[in-house]
Each structure stands twice: as C-alpha cells, then as structure tokens.
Chain A
Amino acid sequence: MNKKRQSKIDLHVPENLLVTPFFVFFLIHAMQLGVGILSFETYIARDAGYDAWISLLIAGAAIHLLLWIVYNILQNSKGDIVSIHEETFGKYIGGFLSIIFSLYVLLLTLTVLRTFIEVIQTWVFPQLNVWFFTLALLLLIYYLVAGGFRLITGLCLISVLLALPLLWLKFFPIQAGDINNVFPIIDHTLVELLSSAKTSILGFLGFELLLVFYPFIKNPEQSKKWAHYGVFFTTIIYVISAIIAFIYFSEKQLDQVNWATISLWKIVEFPFVERFEFIGIALWLFVVIPNICLALWAASRIPKRMFNIRQTYMVGIYCLILYVATIMLDERQQIKELNDIANMIGFYVLMYIPVLFLFKKARDKVRDTN
C-alpha cells in the first residue's frame, strides 16, 4: 500500500468532535423515524392484513442482522464507506460506488423533505407558498448542518425527547377502538407476511448512515449495543403504532386512510385544545429536521472525503439541488413516485450491504495470503 493511499484511508477526526457511544442510540433511532411512520400502517396492512405487526417484527430482526453486518464491515476497516469502497473495489469502482451512495442519501433527504412539505400542504396549509417555505426551511437546515456532527447529534437527542411524549396520545385511539380488530392472530401465510415485511423494512432505512458517521464515534466498539437498542426501540414504536392503528381502524377503512398516525392525532381532545394534529405536525418538525440534517451531512461528507472539497460548499450545492427538486415536484402523484423510487433504491442498498460484506471478506482474505 503506498503512502498516498494510506493517508486517505486513515482519516482522523479531532477528539472534541467525537460523540460518546451512547448517542448512537439517538442517531440510529432518529434517522430511522422520519415521515414514514406517519403513513406506514396502510401500506404494510395491504399484504398481511392485521397480522402486519408480525411482519414488522420480522423486518426489525432483519435490520438487527444487517446492523451486525455493518458493524462487522466497519470494525475490520476502521474507516468509513469511502475507505471501505476504495479498499475493496479499488479507486475507480469504489469511488463510483461512494458517489452512488452519496446520491442515494441525498435522495433520502429529498424524500423526507418533500414528503414533510406534502404533509403540511395536506393537513395544515393547502395554499402553502412552497418556494418560500422551502427556502426558509433549507436555510435553517443549512445553518444546522454547518454546525457540524455534534450539533446534529444534539438535535437527534432533542427530537427523541420532544417526540416521545406524543406516544401518550395513542391512549385516545385505544379508548375509542376495538381490540377485536387484531384477532385472530396469524391468519395469513408466511409469503404474505414476508411480502409485508419487505414493505415494512423501508421504515427502518437510515441506519446505513452509520457507514458514514462511524469515525465520529468515540470508542466505536462500545456503540454496538446502543445501535441495536436504537433499532429495537424503532421496532417497538412501529409495532405500537401499527397495533393501535389496527385497533382503531377496520381493515377496509385503513386502506382508505392516507396518513393513519396523523388521523389518530385528530381525535385527541383536551378542554383547551382540539385538532391536535396541528401540534403533532409542528412537533414532528423536530423529528424531520435531524433526519434531514443527518442525511444531508452524510451525503455531503462523502464528496469531502473523496475529493477534499470543503463540506460547506457541498452542503450548499446539495441544498440548492434539494430546493430545485422540491419546487419541481409539485404534484401528489410525483411525490408518491418519488417515495416509491426512494424505497426501491433503499431496498437495493439494504441488499447491497451483505454483498459488500462478502466482497470485503474475500478481499481481506486475498490480502492476508499475500
């Protein structure tokens, strides 16, 4: 290995920019929980009906396995996705794959951003001035991303702290719902369950960003358990949300509902406030912002690592791309297509992780024998 290559692979992050392993819990969880949870109930119930919560558990287990693989890849290389790609596939193919990964993460960012704006358009402001709102939101996001990884980690923590109380609101639909909707348990075939699990797994996308921020974790070996706790916590939240939606809506009704979780906020009523979904969506901004920031940070970090461009410029360029794309996608159908494409690519990325693992193993073996 020549010296130049060594310097690129051996990336050093200053001590004061690292985060403790504990925060990996929040990073993983906050990245997985995005806008998907507001509407996933309808989609997963299409294949497996009201047994879909079992599919969620299957999907969660699969993610645990993939997370284990990701950690295995990272632990042996002590780098991030850029150096792993370069080690495994060489400079050109590896570089190409890294760029693809960066663009995929950017696509994830766009999906979350556009879908959240769509939620606002649907539920709060039908007449929203999209270009102005997006501009303000992206300026805010630029400011936050420019604050660096530690700031984004802090936002992930805040997002969990602020969004967690929203779980209490699930109590209202339980009171109004019928538990018999969920029974009988398991009256679908394994194929149906697995096909629903394939849909469910898309809700867990985002943990693969670990491939980018791994070097920013202090004592990364210890973060493993926190990452798994994070995935487990996401699974629990998905299962609770799904079961409560199933309790409240009948199967046919759920098929007609676009945003099940938001619809459930709607029935919350306090003596001083009604139509709780406005508060819910406003608080959901704190879930969406860390999500967008972390993804944008990761997407812009890859070109920085590859070409040594200032990350500030990359964030600016990507923000511009996001801005233009958000304004161009103005029809509901387009946004749905965007989500489908992102989900499809996301699924391929998940499939790619074991492949990368095998290639890397083979490559390591060849190197060892040499």
Chain B
Amino acid sequence: MGKWERRGRNQQLNKAGTIQTLYKKLKESKDFLVYHHTGPTPCVISYLKTMADPKILNESILPGLKNADLHSLEKIKEAITVENISITDQAEKIKEKVLQGYVVIQMTENDNQVLLIPASTKVGRKVSIPEIEFSVVGPKEAFVESLDKNMNLIRKRVPLPELTVKELSIGKLTNTRVAVVYIDGIANEININTVMQRLKEIDYDQMIDSSYIAQMIADNSNSPFPQLLDTERPDRMTEALVEGKIAILVDGSPHALTCPTTIVEFFSASDDYFMPWHLATVFRLIRLFAVLFSVLSTSLYVAILTHHHEMIPEELLATIISSRADIPFPPILEVIILELTIELLREAGARLPTKIGQTIGIVGGIVIGTAAVDAGLTSNVLLIIVALSALASFTTPVYQISNTIRLVRFPFIIGAQLWGLIGVSMVMALFIGHLIKLQSIGTPFFAPIYPLRFTDLKDAFIRLPFNKQTQRPIQTRPLKSERLQPSDANKKRDIDE
C-alpha cells in the first residue's frame, strides 16, 4: 500500500499539467523571475535566475527585442541571434527546459504558446589531475562532474564517427543524464543491448553517482566484488573503448564505469602501459602477490600459531616465542584487535580532511602500534604482518577492489581459527567458486583463468609488449578482433640480416 502511494506522489511531482500550474509552482521559488518587458515589443520574459546565463540575456535577447516592434513569436525568433530557439506549447517540454535554464518568452502571461531560448549556464569544477588513480607518467586529466566536459575528454581522444553515445535519463526525480558510450563496429551488440536493457529497467528516484548504477545493474548485487570497473581517467576509458568495452557516464559523477570487466583488470594499473613491458610485468606480479599477501597473511598467522605450530622451523620459533611470550591473548584475538585498529585508522583517515587525515595515519600507525606492543597487547611480528598487509592492500590500482580486499580478509581469519590451514582452504574454495560463478554484464568475471583463454593471458598476469598484443581480448567478444597485422610485427631477423 505504502509503495503505491509513494509512486502516485512521485508521478504527481513529475506531471506538468498546464503552463499556468507550472508557473504557479515555480513562482514559489525566489530565483524564478517573471519580467514584463515593455517598449516596442511588449512581452513576458521568465527564467530561472540561478540557471540562466545573464550574458546571453543581456547581449543577445534583450537587444533583439528592442530593435523593432515584433508582434508574434516567429518575428521575435528571427530577431534574436541565439541558435536552437524553438516555439512550443507543450507544458512538459517547457518545464524541462526552464529547469535547465532556458529563457521563456510569451506575448502575454496567459499565452500557451512560448518561445524557448537556450541560455543555460552550468557551474562546475575544471578538469583536474586524477587523485585516486594517480600515475607518475602518462596523461594527467581526470573526469569531472559535467557529462559534457567528460564527453569532450573522450571525443578528443577518439576522433571517430563510430564513437557512439546513447543517452537516457534515469531517476524519476533527478532525471539524471546517463550516457552509454562505445565504438560501433568493435563493441558487441549483445553487450550493448544488455547494458541498455538494464539501464532502462532501473526504477529509482535519484541517481547521484555512477556507483549507484554500478550497484543497480550488477549481475549479482550481493557479491562483495565490484562487477563494473570504475575509473576517473579518460585515457583508461579510451583503452577500454578500443578493446570493445562499453562505458557508462553519469552526469554529476566524476567516475565512469566500463564493462564487461574481469577480476584481473582490477589489478592492472595505467602505469603498466606507460612502462616497458618487462618492468610492467614484474610490477603487476608484485601487485598480485601483494593482494594475496594482504588477504591471507593474518589468517595464516592465526592458522599456524593456533593449530600448526609444528610447521614453524626451530630457529624461527624462538623469534616468535620471544615476541609472543607476554601476550595474554590467543592469536585470533590479537589479530582481530590489530585488524580492527587498522580499519579504524582507515575509516578515520578517509572521513577526515586530507591534511588531518595524514596526521592521523602517521600518529595512528606509529604511536598506536608501538604502544600496543609495549602494552603487551600484540606481538611485534603480528604488527609487522598487519602493517604490511594493510600496505599491500593499497597497491591495488582500483579503489573499489581494495575495499573488497579489506572485507574478504575476515572470513579467512574465521576459517583459520576454526580449522587452521584447512579452514583457510575452505574459505578460499568458497571465494573461488563464487568468482567462477560471477558475471560482468553476462560475461564470465573470472576470465581468462576460467574459462581458460590463452590469448587473453597476454595482458592478464603479465603484460606482453605492444607488438605481441595483436588481438583484442576475447572477453569483450569484439566484432573486430585484430589490432595489428601480426606478420610484420613478429618477424624475427636472423643474425646479420
């Protein structure tokens, strides 16, 4: 019952009715101006002061009205030197345009026929450098909140007529513009249709950020793993588009989504492509190792110290015993205390302004850590492990997956406490099974591991040189898979040739 009522009210909010009712509603707001223009051409000018550009009003519209006596909207339309002027009597359209900042001209106040003059202005931030996905070399532009500016950033990188932009508006109240971008002829229609279909099915009142969409169109919304890759880098998005992926941009969000994606893509950084391939490969492998370390290290500590202390070699055992001798807690409690401390520091650091946040990080790390060891709450060895695993989780190039790693750790710790290494294996099997089942826009998320795609492994755990990247990844099922003619690229010269 409540749901129906709510839906009814929403519809009422959206319904325009007549121009008179619209004006009545708008006049309740202080920034809506209705101005009776006198002089040679008497008419009524109305607009939202906060949305319309006063420059256009003053320099193009008002001078046009002063010139001669114009007695119909058509005449005025000819006299004003602004493009895209239209005449309409549809209340729905007028409402939409007024709210965007258009200037409305009527001959008399009760006329239904109106002239709509585009004069909107938008306040927003300038294009700045990427802060979350920073890279030392490479382009330094990041998306901003304005959809049009973001499209500009993409179009200038992909000057192709095939770059297609489909736009729809989502959110019953916010009417947010959402753009689906892809390269026609490379991106597979099945993927495009899936994305469009899911976007059309979204039924929600607001659309604040692209992360809303990421959660709403995800194949499995109960999974801790993000199934759409979000990026703030136009260059990274260009790469994705060229590979045949689809991008989703939301007006008001500085993060674009690309899909379909795979788990390994979350661990590939833009830097990997700006460096020679062998360096990139080594660093990518280090990053993957760091992720495994971050997820498993504390649970292995719990498993080994609680259940399998026979595994520790004699020499190492002395070190561990001396550091744990005064600790009153079992390993599991010790680990949970420290992990929670680190999570606390992280949350505090993320909520506080940058400068205070840094201080908290340093103070927290050094002071609390040392104090905990001195107080005999945790051991030195564990402090090192936890600090390293926290550090390791920051090496992920995509912010979202680092949050997943934070969370995924805890089931492993519980498994380790219950059945040692076998418990860790069981949790691992659970997550591997989950990942195998997971899909991103209908394509397997765990590729290229399963389904095993040998050709896609060239840019998964390792990155081969560009002249070996002859094919686009199969994962996206591109319509054109060839990137370059392999015969020229891979020809090897004999000695002295």
Contacts and interface: CB of A to CB of B under 8 A. Distances in A.
Contact of A140 (B312, B421, B426, B446): B426
Interface stretch (B92-100, B265-273, B303-311): B303-311
B433 A151 contact: yes
B450 A157 contact: yes
A140 B430 contact: yes
A271 interface: yes
A289 B436 CA distance: 14
Contacts of B307: 124-125
A326 to B, nearest CB: 15
Interface in B407-459: 418-422, 424-426, 428-430, 432-433, 436-437, 446, 449-452
A89 interface: no
Contacts of A282: 420-422, 424-425
Contacts of B425: 282-283, 285-286
A283 B93 CA distance: 65
A282 B428 CA distance: 11
Interface stretch (A5-13, A28-36, A273-281): A273-281
A177 B430 CA distance: 38
Contacts of B450: 153-154, 157-158
A202 interface: no
A279 B426 contact: no
Contacts of B424: 282
A279 to B, nearest CB: 6
B72 to A, nearest CB: 62
Interface string A123-152: 011001000010011001001100110110
A144 B419 contact: no
A155 B429 CA distance: 8
Contacts of B340: none
A272 B316 CA distance: 7
A104 interface: no
A125 B419 contact: yes
A269 B310 CA distance: 12
Contacts of A151: 433, 436-437
A285 B436 contact: no
B161 interface: no
A24 to B, nearest CB: 13
Given A282-B421, A285-B422, A274 B313 contact: yes
B3 to A, nearest CB: 30
Contacts of A124: 307-308, 420-422
A272 B429 contact: no
A219 interface: no
Contacts of B418: 136
Contacts of A189: none
Contact of A133 (B316, B419, B428, B449): B419
B429 A274 contact: no
Contacts of B428: 286
Contacts of B422: 120, 124, 281-282, 285
Nearest to A147: B437
B308 A285 contact: no
A258 to B, nearest CB: 19
A71 interface: no
Interface in B340-363: none
Nearest to A144: B433
A22 interface: yes
Nearest to B315: A271
B421 A136 contact: no
A151 B436 CA distance: 6
Contact of A275 (B311, B429, B449): B311
Contact of A278 (B311, B313, B316): B311
A20 interface: yes
Given A155-B436, A273-B313, A278 B421 contact: yes
Nearest to A270: B313
Interface in B353-412: none
Contacts of A136: 418-419, 426
Nearest to B311: A275
Contacts of A273: 311-313
B287 to A, nearest CB: 20
Interface string A277-308: 01101110110010000000000000000000
A136 B436 CA distance: 20
A150 B443 CA distance: 13
Contact of B446 (A128, A154, A281): A154
Contacts of A144: 429, 433
A285 B429 contact: yes
A154 B450 CA distance: 6
Contact of A147 (B311, B426, B436, B449): B436
Contacts of B429: 140, 144, 155, 285-286, 289
A158 B426 contact: no
A275 B311 CA distance: 5
B433 A20 contact: no
A159 B418 CA distance: 23
B483 to A, nearest CB: 24
A275 B421 CA distance: 13
B313 A147 contact: no
Interface centre among B310, B449, B450 (most CB of A within 10 A): B450
Interface in A321-355: none
A276 B311 CA distance: 7
Given A137-B426, A274-B312, A278-B308, A158 B452 contact: no
Nearest to B435: A154
Interface string A89-129: 00000000000000000000000000000001000110010
Given A20-B451, A124-B421, 6 more contacts: A22-B452, A154-B433, A155-B436, A157-B452, A275-B311, A285-B425
26 contacts: A124-B422, A125-B419, A128-B419, A136-B418, A136-B419, A137-B426, A140-B426, A140-B429, A140-B430, A143-B430, A143-B433, A147-B436, A150-B436, A151-B436, A153-B450, A154-B450, A154-B451, A157-B450, A158-B432, A270-B313, A275-B311, A278-B421, A279-B311, A282-B422, A282-B424, A285-B426
Interface of B: 307-308, 310-313, 316, 418-422, 424-426, 428-430, 432-433, 436-437, 446, 449-452
